[in-house]
Structure 1
Amino acid sequence: MLFNPSRDEARRFFIQSWQKHTAGAPLADLERIVVAVLLRHPEYHRYLSEDYLDRDWPPEVGETNPFLHLSMHLAIEEQLSIDQPLGVKAQYTALCAACGDEHSAQHQMMDGLGEMIWHAQRSQSAPDPAIYLDILRTKVRQFGGKT
């Protein structure tokens, strides 16, 4: 079910993972990854209840959608675990060195993911991993690192 979850299913997974963590219940592998991401984002803990399943965070209001942000972290964790697209792990390592920490590096990667998706939508094509990797290389250079 988590391979292509609905918005509500994805949100429920974050909420349930957090509830299991706070109750001290055993966590599955993916739940442990989710909890690690959540622990780096205490500002989103207040949204981890059923009360927020239907809430929207329109970009024009200026708020970040916490579930989208957390989902992007999760996507990046998956990319890094399997080095897909090929070379993303090396760019992440370079970004970590250039940015000074893993969390900042992941936020730069999120920007790159968003830009790649924007390009795909604009050209009505599939996301191009070459664009994503080029963006990451540019970000490494911008932070003074080596690609």
Structure 2
Amino acid sequence: MLFNPSRDQARRFFIHSWQKHQQGLHLEDLEAVVVDVLLAHPEYHAYLSEDYIDRDWPPEHGDTNPFLHLSLHLAIAEQLSIDQPAGVRALYQQLHAQHNDAHKALHDMLECLGEMIWQAQRNQSAPDPAIYLDGLRQRIKLVR
């Protein structure tokens, strides 16, 4: 069975994981991954409350949706853990080595993943992993 939470459920999961971390409670595996991502993004800590469950961050206003950003980080963590799409882990390792910074490498990946998703939405088609992997390869060439 696939895990397909609603927007509110996903946001509450981030909030709940952060609260458990702050209280020093035991974290389940995915909660620990969430907390690692959150620790790398202190600029989003203020949004980790019920007050922001219903808030929208329209891109046309130049806003970055912190929950979307964090969710993309989780998607990439999953991709890297299983090397799916095939070869993504090696491309990440190349970006990491070139940047000498894991977080910068992950943000390059976020941009490419976002591009693939945007193209799928625009074309009303399934996401194409080739677009994602090609984008990563282009980033590697740019960094060199």
User: Structures share a fold, TM > 0.5?
Assistant: yes
- Quote the Cα distance in structure 1 between the aligned partners of 2:130 and 2:61: 32
1:96 aligns with 2:96: yes
1:6 aligns with 2:6: yes
After TM superposition, the structure 1 = structure 2 runs for residues 31-50 of structure 1, keeping only pairs within 5 Å, are 31-50=31-50
Quick check: 97-106 or 44-53, which moved more?
97-106
Partner of 2:81: 81
Quick check: 71-80 or 2-11, which moved more?
2-11
Moved over 3 A (4+): none
TM-score (norm 1): 0.95
RMSD across aligned C-alpha pairs, in angstroms? Answer: 1.2
1:2–1:10 Cα contact (<8 Å) kept: no
Instruction: Give deviations 1:35-89, integer Å, cap 9, x for gaps.
Output: 0000000010000000000001011221210000000000000000000000000
- Cα distance, 1:2 vs. partner? 7.7
Count residues with an aligned counterpart.
144
- Quote the Cα distance in structure 2 between the aligned partners of 1:18 and 1:64: 20
Identical-pair percentage: 70
Distance 1:105 1:141, change over 3 A: same
2:21 alignment partner, SS class: helix
- Quote the Cα distance in structure 1 between the aligned partners of 2:87 and 2:10: 27
TM-score (norm 2): 0.97
- Quote the Cα distance in structure 2 between the aligned partners of 1:47 and 1:20: 16
Partner of 1:114: 114
Partner of 1:30: 30
